[in-house]
Structure 1
Amino acid sequence: MKLVELNLSTISFGQPIPFALRGVGGSLLANKGFVIRSADDLRVLLARGQTLYVDTDESGESYRAFLAQLQSLLLSDKPLNKITSMTMQSAAAAVEVPQDMGPPAWREWQLGLTQLLRNPDNSDFASRFEDLFSALNNYLLKNPDGALLALMQMSAEETRYYSATHAMLVSVICMTVARETLRWPENRILPLGRAALSMNMGMARLQDDLAQQSTPLTPQQAQEVDQHSDASVSILRAMGITDPLWLDAVKTHHHRAPGKLAEKTLGQQMARLIQRADIFGARIAPRANREPMSVTSAMQASYYDETKSMDEAGAALVKALGIYPPGAWVKLASEEVGVVIRRGASASAPRVAVLLNRSGMPTGEPIPRDTAQPAWKIVSPVAHKEVRVRLPLEKLLAL
């Protein structure tokens, strides 16, 4: 039995469900074809099962078909009100999901945020966005290394939904740096995270296209990129967003303004941190026309400002994430290759799960290594594309 948590708000009321629903421990809650007629019915199921799961060993084909249908609807760019809600939290569900039930459904989140950024609807944008952001922030508070690991891996693996994956990664990085290194209060961290998640709304569709485009930008595309910050602010205002810090950070997140953070306004401080995280995230992601940078090179690009001096926000990013953040592939002194799964006591000594032995052969099962030990010291980064063994994201997160 392999249980995968179901995003509650992908459930359509009044329609037969295409797979069986199970609760915590795999208990059967509803057979395939069962009709959930209302939010009250959903609450009853949640009260019985705490969380809803699909057993992919049992219903793998129907579940994959369900996800494929959602994906095809997304790619058709139909308005949000024509597509089943895919937010991370269900407004209909009054039962709190336990905090130890494992990782969220990242791939579904990716699809849902893509649709939200591409086709915002002012009738429900604010509530959908806040549901999504709150879920992301709650998971980050519980498991920051898991959030970084998931989003780093997703950024490195595919480009179709670059805008959403990048936005989540930058938001997670910014809030992590603000909490752990800059020690900002929550009333500054939350608008920072929201701004990072929405900074590129003005060119979300173009971002996804450019990630797969091998030719140079056309003049029209270049103009759209140049104007996207103002366009994002205009869209957010039209969606009913009025928070001045949020809007100011989005408006100025591409301004090149080196200097001390204390000399900037609060919105400009947020924008500078977003800009440094934006640079890092963009450089580790593949493109059709270029290979991604190594993690260390991307860190270096974030660390130095436009005058080649140390950037305060960039230095805070490196301090918080470490030289090798979760999700980075590395080679050890033992000649083994693994992926960073957790930050360590120092920036250069994280915890690693080895997946290739010194002969370059798969280990079968991940082998934990503490790189603070000389025998397992990290000697170099490894490009994601050079690693021929893959673990499903769920297995990596379980480590």
Structure 2
Amino acid sequence: MLKKIPVDQLRLGMHLQAFCGAWLDHPFWRTKFVLEDAKDIALVQESNIKEVWIDVSKGIDVESTDQSTVETLETAEEIPQPTPVVQEKVSFSDEVARASKIVAKGKEAVVSMFQEARMGKAIEAEAAAPLVEEISNSVMRNPGALISLARLKTADDYTFMHSVAVCALMIALARQLGLDEQQTREAGMAGLLHDLGKAMMPLEVLNKPGKLTDEEFALIKTHPEEGYKLLLEGKGVTETIKDVCLHHHEKVDGTGYPKGLNGDTMSLFAKMGAVCDVYDAITSNRPYKAGWDPAESIKRMAEWKGHFDPTVFQAFVKSLGIYPIGSLVRLESGKLGVVIEQGEQSLLKPKVKVFFSTKSQAYLRPEIIDLARSPEKIAGREDAAKWGIKDVDQYWAGDKV
């Protein structure tokens, strides 16, 4: 039996079934667990959550003196679900703060899932569904905000943040390809869990700052199969999720791993995973190299013949832009700027925050130029190091860097 109780009635030993409120309003990434730590009760009571559902068949009941305020249900299916809110498009600046919270909580979720996998606990895909929902909603409101923030990683948290980033990229790509909402959510979950096998890799190899030896690289290349094994034992894991985990390192020319699939034998979702995984990897700072500029990364990926499915890659570029947020570009006037928002009509006319003059080789007062409404045009991509610029990301991400 389920009971809805005020948070001040929570006691150790109760089984939390659901929070009455938004996923971002409570302090945990999962919603169903037994309260075993007094600190967890304090965290709930300090949050914006006022009521919770408990399952008295899996944990202790409320005290008899508190029963008068309790609402009861027989099954979890009866818990009223919040009415889906239509996600209105918003600007990057309006979405970035919320996206930042989702990214931070998403990283916690992936860290926890990896730890549980290392301890031999079965993966519960359903537990991560609210996270995928939040990421999906954020991408719908403004695709650039969360995707760009998830690219800002340190070498230490790369593996976890990479999972959040690929989830968001998969969702944006699924929408661009015209997949339905269920397929889009499934693509997102596949992105979130695609690298689960890295939980089974030795940390000294996974986080090695230098070049891997042949033996170490051979070991890392087993992570898709290790992840697949973990997902086979998981709960609520679909065939699509397992497929992306196992095949996101395949290539359409058949030279990928672990099965040497090609464009005819790879599924659509595996082709999507291959593109999203590579883009986030090469644009992120890694233990052994600095990330490439987003626009430079798109250009290089387009040149890798036989790696990606052309139709999927084309849709990917449309979902991000030829000059993704964070790209450093030079305008025909000689000014340098960073892309802060995609143009609504043209991939070649984003909004750019200019801050440097190549003619005077001096910083300018930052100014936003909407290229859709300006005679200015992008002359090309630029390398920040060429001009001695070391803080490009602060011009689009501000204090989120």
TM-score (structure 1 length as normaliser): 0.67
User: Once the 2 structures are TM-superposed, how far is the Cα of residue 324 of structure 1 from its aligned partner?
Assistant: 0.5
Structure 1 residues 43 and 193: alpha-carbon distance in aligned structure 2, compared to 1, 3 A threshold = closer
Aligned counterpart, 1:215? 210
The equivalent position to 1:103 in structure 2, one of 98, 105, 114, is 98
Match of residue 391 from structure 1: 394
**2:28 is matched with which residue?**
9
1:25 matched to which residue of 2? none
Q: Which residue of 2 aligns with 1:146?
A: 145
Native 8 Å contact 2:205 2:216 kept in 1: no
Quick check: 1:237 aligned with 2:232?
yes
CA offset at residue 319 of structure 1? 2.2
CA 1:230–1:288: 2 relative to 1, 3 Å: closer
Q: Distance in 2 between matches of 1:272 and 1:214?
A: 29
What is the aligned-residue identity percentage? 18
Look up the match of 1:349.
349
Shift of 1:243: 0.8
Q: Is the 8 A contact 1:329 1:339 kept in 2?
A: yes
SS in structure 2 of the partner of residue 170 of structure 1: helix
Pick one of 166, 176, 186 that aligns with 2:162: 166
2:231 pairs with 1:228: no
Gaps (5+ residues) in structure 2? 1-23, 53-78, 88-93, 255-262
Q: Which amino acid aligns with 2:28?
A: S
Partner residue, 1:44: 50
Report 1:1-399 matches (<5 A): 8-9=27-28, 14-15=38-39, 36=42, 43-44=49-50, 102-104=97-99, 105=101, 106-120=103-117, 122=121, 125-152=124-151, 154-155=152-153, 158-180=154-176, 182-204=177-199, 206=201, 213-258=208-253, 264=264, 268-304=267-303, 306-307=305-306, 311-344=310-343, 345-356=345-356, 359=360, 361-363=362-364, 366-372=366-372, 375-383=375-383, 387-389=389-391, 391=394, 395=398
Worse-matched range after superposition: 385-394 or 311-320: 385-394
Residue 26 of structure 1 corresponds to none
Question: Distance in 2 between the 1:97 and 1:190 partners?
Answer: 14
Shift of 1:216: 2.4
Q: In structure 2, what residue type is equivalent to 1:176?
A: A
CA distance 1:384–1:115, change in 2 (3 Å): farther
TM-score when scaled to structure 2?
0.66
Kindly tell me: are residues 377 and 209 of structure 1, through their superposed partners in 2, closer, same or farther at Cα, counting changes over 3 Å? Answer: farther
Offset of residue 208 of structure 1? 7.3
* Partner Cα distance (1:207, 1:178) in 2: 33
| Number of aligned residues | 323
Q: Is the 8 A contact 1:229 1:251 kept in 2?
A: yes
Q: Gapped runs of 5+ residues in structure 1?
A: 17-34, 47-91
Contact 1:160 1:208 in 2 (8 A): no
SS at match of 1:353: strand
Which secondary structure does the structure 1 equivalent of 2:244 belong to?
helix
Structure 1 contact 146–341 (Cα < 8 Å) conserved: no
Rounded to whole Å, the distance in 1 between the matches of 2:383 and 2:181 is: 35
In 1, the alpha carbon distance for the partners of 2:29 and 2:279 equals 32
Amino acid of the structure 1 residue aligned with 2:390: R
What CA RMSD, in Å, does the superposition of the two structures yield over aligned residues? 4.1
One-letter amino acid matched to 1:314: F
Deviations 1:129-173 (A, max 9, x none): 223222212221222121223223x14xx2211112222222222
